[in-house]
Amino acid sequence: MFTKEQFTSLAKKHMDMVFRLAFSYLRSREEADDVVQNVLLALWRTDKRFASAEHVKAWLIRVTVNECKKVLRSPWRKREDLAAYENALEFQDERDRALYDAIMALDAKYRTVIVLYYYEGYSIAETAKLLGIPAPTAGTRLARARERLKDMLTEAENDE
């Protein structure tokens, strides 16, 4: 069990990462918020001993992915129109918006590896371990995601 101070520190440090991962997986702000709450509640309740800060982060990612899968299986799940949320996001550069739109257009399995690899800084082997898939599969998903992003961004650039 964590002390209140330890938990608060961990929650502040990792809450944004958990939200980004959940949002990229679910594409729903409300569902991502629910997942963040469930993950932080699981962290508060756990009696697991963590070897390092990286171990805590890896555990949070694994729990987040599992919570997202649980939400996706729910018969009560509603898909949200992302347009309202996306319009509320501000980007300094139009290219950043185009990249965001392209990433969000990918299938969940590709979005997740992109987020873990590029935004969270995990290697392919670490990403595979976090997702519970073989490393070659993670590498293949990342390569396919890159190719799809390249195609989408090139197509969008040509349309302008």
CATH number of 110's domain: 1.10.10.10
CATH of the domain at 45: 1.10.1740
pLDDT over 60 (residue 82):
no
Measuring CA to CA, which residue among 55, 45, 61, 44 is closest to residue 5?
44
Please give the average per-residue pLDDT across 66-70, as a whole number. 91
Measured between its terminal Cα atoms, the distance across the chain in Å is 55
Longest dimension (CA), the chain: 55
- Please give the DSSP secondary-structure letter assigned to residue 89: -
Last residue of a domain, one of 33, 54, 81: 81
In a domain, 86, yes or no: no
Q: Classify residue 44: in a domain, yes or no.
A: yes
**Structural domain ending residue among the three candidates 81, 104, 124:** 81
Vertex 86 angle, CA 69 and 40, to 5°: 40
Domain boundary among 21, 55, 81: 81
| Structural domain count of the chain | 2
Same domain, 70 and 110: no
Question: Are 114 and 106 spatial neighbours (Cβ–Cβ below 8 Å)?
Answer: yes
- Cα–Cα distance measured from residue 103 to residue 41, given in angstroms and rounded to the nearest whole number: 29
Same domain, 71 and 102: no
Please give the pLDDT value at position 94.
Answer: 77
Q: Which of 125, 132, 134, 28 is nearest to 81 (CA)?
A: 28
Give pLDDT, residue 18: 94
Same domain membership, residue 2 and residue 71: yes
pLDDT (tens digit per residue) in 100-149:
888 888 998 999 899 889 988 899 999 999 888 999 999 999 999 999 99
List the domain range (segments joined by +) for residue 21: 1-81
Q: What does the pLDDT look like over 31-62, one tens digit per residue?
A: 999 999 999 999 999 988 898 989 999 999 99
Residue 124 CA to residue 127 CA, distance in Å, equals 5
Identify the pLDDT of residue 88: 64
Same domain, 44 and 110: no
Do 26 and 72 fall within a single domain? yes
Pair 108, 126: CB distance under 8 Å: no
pLDDT at 84: 59
CA dihedral 94, 32, 144, 152 (to 10 degrees): -30
How many angstroms separate the CA atoms of 62 and 67, rounded?
9
Band (pLDDT 50/70/90 cuts) for residue 156 is confident
